[in-house]
Amino acid sequence: MAPVYADHPFSLLPTPIFLAKDSQVAPDMFDELASEMALVHNVMIRGLNSIYLQAPHIKPADEKSFCKYVALWWTTLHGHHSGEEAMFFPYVEKVTGVAGIMDTNIEQHKAFHDGLDNLKAYADAVIAGQDKYEASRVLALIDDFGPALLQHLSDEIPTILGLRKYGDKLAGLPQLFQEEADKTGVSNCFP
């Protein structure tokens, strides 16, 4: 059997540090934070891809377990975006003094929110025995919100890089990222 990797149908994100590997300029805080965010996003993308790729192959005995995996993936993504809206986005707005600086990100969250919640509701209904598992339904639900989610996960990386123009005002960002990592149990990727 040929190896199957969870790197499709949704493409993984290259990190800014990887993209600049041949540069003579050392990565700065913004390169590191954007790269860390890309890696976190890639965990979410790989999770979504694994759901998408495995959904058609789930046997009846594994349907509830698989839907628990789907629900856990939702919890991870939901926690990440809730944390951004509660901590990261307000912090950036406060220290830059630019009202609405992260509004595009919030609007992007709203663009996939309902579709994402529909997937979670369906998984919960299957787990509870209130609905029948259908791979085609899982795929259709993901097809509904997946492109908007991937657009957001991709767009957030240059958004972080774009904060470089505020320089030292955002010196507390690494600590904020670390606090969020400690809260979620995901350690920082860059010391």
Residue 88 · residue 105 · CB < 8 Å: no
Q: What range does the domain containing 162 cover?
A: 29-184
Residue 23 maps to a domain = no
Whether 189 maps to a domain, the answer reads no
Pairwise CA distance, residues 162 & 171, whole Å: 14
Mean local confidence (pLDDT), 68-87: 93
* pLDDT tier for residue 50 given thresholds of 50, 70 and 90: very high
d(C-alpha 120, C-alpha 75), whole Å: 9
7 lies in some domain: no
Q: Quick check: is 6 in a domain? A: no
**pLDDT tens string 119-150:** 999 999 999 999 999 999 999 999 999 999 99
Domain membership flag for residue 125: yes
Digit-coded pLDDT (tens) for 13-41: 999 999 988 888 888 999 999 999 999 99
CA distances from 180 to 8, 135, 176 (A): 28, 34, 6
Q: Which long-range contacts (CB under 8 A, 24 or more apart) does 82-86 make?
A: 83/180, 83/183, 83/184, 84/109, 85/109
Quick one: which of 187, 151, 184 has its CA closest to 78? 184
| pLDDT score of 131 | 98
Residue 2 is assigned to a structural domain of this protein: no
Report pLDDT for 112: 95
State the chain's mean pLDDT as an integer: 90
Is 35 part of any domain? yes
Q: Cβ(65)–Cβ(59) under 8 Å?
A: no
Q: How many domains, in total, are found in the chain?
A: 1
Q: What band does 2 get if pLDDT is binned at 50, 70 and 90?
A: very low
Query: Would you say 92 and 172 are in contact if contact means Cβ atoms under 8 Å apart?
Result: no
Q: Is residue 84 part of a domain?
A: yes
**CA distance readout (Å), 175 to 39, 84, 137, 191:** 18, 14, 41, 11
Q: Is residue 62 predicted with pLDDT exceeding 70?
A: yes
pLDDT digits (tens, 9 = 90+) for 144-183: 999 999 999 999 999 999 999 999 888 888 888 777 767 6
